[in-house]
């Protein structure tokens, strides 16, 4: 009888695992489903990026193995973009690495840093790749709960000194998924200083840095002096350019970090397709004109969602970043029950807070993935779901 490995058995359930199948069933039954679950927007990538991809498909040189070296044009474009965006210079040959979306890089990075028994600080609620990478590397997670008390910031100084001395890796993600929280420069300075003091490697997950509203500008970790000694930053074109299924991103950092991640990936993949790297290079070279229309549309959706949530009886502050709304429940409502009832009774897909770890209980996440009108309709349906659950408890 087959027995999965102990590491596999330790992995928590993945929050999106069962949703696609149930969504298909409901659609087949004629249900008007509004999907506010996965962060996968309904608008297409910018037309010039699609055209660049179409041209790449026809070029035989892009049908070959890319290996970890990848497409030099993409490496060059990533470095140029980081210099324009953050004022940070990197060597295209040794200090950046193409990724098959930032998710796999974040997960594989744990195997490049951690030994069995080492500790990694994992925020909760948080992106599942952090916990998954830690467990699959044979290490142990120090779960740090993200709560309003700290403005959803991981405060390493609150971890006991004896534990912090055993920590080898910390994952930070700002602008944050799922909470949409942002990190001030002063906070990042403190985290870099602590990582330097305790010899901790900082994996800074930054795919939402350009999805900001109301004049807010999200920083990068390499704007902080000393960050190159401890940090690797992970980027993705999935959300900023609506290229989720294209699976293209990159890691940036000092050469020893990138070399270590490259070695891990050399044993598990041969890099992103060269053609998608070529199209991604175009996207980065023209980011200043291609991204603002996407941000403007997301802001329209954010405004519609916040207004509808308040109308439906939910409490929410207006986020200035990312593409998510993180909404608390009244006391006594369980997030999994709410999401299940919202889907089965009203045809609305959301993610329960508990899907991001036990620390997410008491919240649910709405992704700004459909038009403002559909977001409003979906949220009003969720209001009916909440009212029904509350009435059942009276």
Lowest mean pLDDT segment, chosen from 29-33, 140-144, 244-248, 363-367: 29-33
Tokens of 266: 């050399």
Q: What is the pLDDT of residues 329-363, one digit of tens each?
A: 887 788 888 888 898 889 999 999 988 888 889 99
Q: Report the SS3 class of residue 148.
A: helix
Give the CATH class of 48-287: alpha beta
- pLDDT for res 6: 85
Region 290-301: mean pLDDT is: 97
Task: Give 329-372 as a DSSP string.
Answer: PPTT--HHHHHHHHHHHH-EE-EEGGGG-GGGTTEEEEE--S-H
Residues, the chain = 394
Tokens of 340: 């299940």
- pLDDT for res 14: 58
Tokens of 192: 């870099």
Q: Strand 201-205 and strand 140-145: pairing? A: unpaired
Give the CATH class of 7-45+289-388: alpha beta
- pLDDT for res 289: 98
Percent of the chain as helix, strand, coil, to the nearest 5: 50, 15, 40
| Omega cis (within 30) before 51 | no
Whole-number average pLDDT of the chain: 93
Q: What is the pLDDT of residues 354-394, one digit of tens each?
A: 888 888 899 999 999 999 999 999 999 999 998 888 876 65
Please state whether 230 falls in left (phi above 0), alpha (psi between -120 and 50) or beta.
alpha
Interhelix angle 372-392/287-311, nearest 10 degrees: 30
Which percentage of the chain shows pLDDT scores above 90?
A: 79
Per-residue pLDDT band at 17 (split at 50, 70, 90): low
d(CA 134, CA 330): 33
- Domain ranges in the chain are 7-45+289-388, 48-287
310 pLDDT exceeds 60? yes
């Amino acid at each position: 009888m087959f027995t999965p490995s102990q590491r596999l058995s330790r992995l928590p359930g993945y929050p999106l695992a069962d949703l696609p199948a149930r969504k298909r069933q409901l659609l087949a039954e004629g249900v008007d489903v509004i999907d506010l679950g996965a962060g996968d927007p309904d608008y297409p990538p910018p037309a010039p990026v699609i055209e660049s991809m179409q041209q790449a498909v026809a070029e035989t040189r892009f049908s070959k193995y890319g290996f970890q070296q990848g497409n030099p044009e993409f490496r060059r474009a990533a470095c140029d973009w980081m210099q324009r965006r953050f004022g940070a210079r990197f060597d295209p040959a040794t200090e950046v690495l193409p990724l098959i979306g930032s998710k796999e890089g974040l997960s594989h990075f744990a195997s490049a840093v951690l030994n069995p028994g080492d500790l990694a600080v994992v925020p909760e609620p948080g992106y599942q790749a952090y916990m998954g990478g830690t467990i699959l590397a044979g290490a142990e997670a120090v779960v740090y709960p993200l709560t309003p008390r700290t403005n959803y910031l991981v405060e390493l100084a609150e971890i006991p000194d004896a534990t912090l001395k055993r920590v080898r890796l910390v994952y930070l993600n700002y602008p944050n998924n799922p909470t949409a929280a942002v990190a001030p420069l002063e906070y990042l300075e403190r985290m870099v200083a602590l990582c330097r003091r305790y010899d901790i490697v900082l994996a800074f997950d930054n795919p939402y840095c350009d999805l900001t509203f109301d004049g807010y500008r999200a920083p990068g970790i390499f704007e902080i002096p000393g960050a190159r000694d401890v940090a690797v930053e992970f980027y993705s074109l999935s959300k900023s350019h609506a290229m989720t299924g294209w699976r293209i991103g990159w890691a940036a950092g000092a050469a020893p970090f990138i070399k270590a991640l490259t070695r891990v990936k050399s044993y598990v993949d041969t890099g992103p397709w060269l053609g998608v790297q070529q199209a991604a290079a175009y996207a980065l070279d023209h980011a200043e004109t291609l991204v603002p229309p996407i941000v403007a549309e997301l802001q329209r959706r954010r405004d519609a969602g916040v207004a509808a949530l308040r109308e439906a009886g939910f409490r929410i502050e207006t986020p200035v970043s990312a593409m998510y709304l993180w909404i608390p429940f009244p006391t006594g409502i369980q997030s999994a029950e709410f999401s299940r009832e919202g889907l089965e009774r009203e045809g609305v897909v959301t993610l329960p807070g508990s899907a991001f770890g036990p620390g997410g209980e008491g919240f649910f996440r709405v992704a700004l993935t459909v038009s403002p009108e559909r977001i409003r309709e979906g949220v009003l349906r969720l209001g009916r779901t909440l009212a029904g659950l509350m009435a059942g408890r009276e």
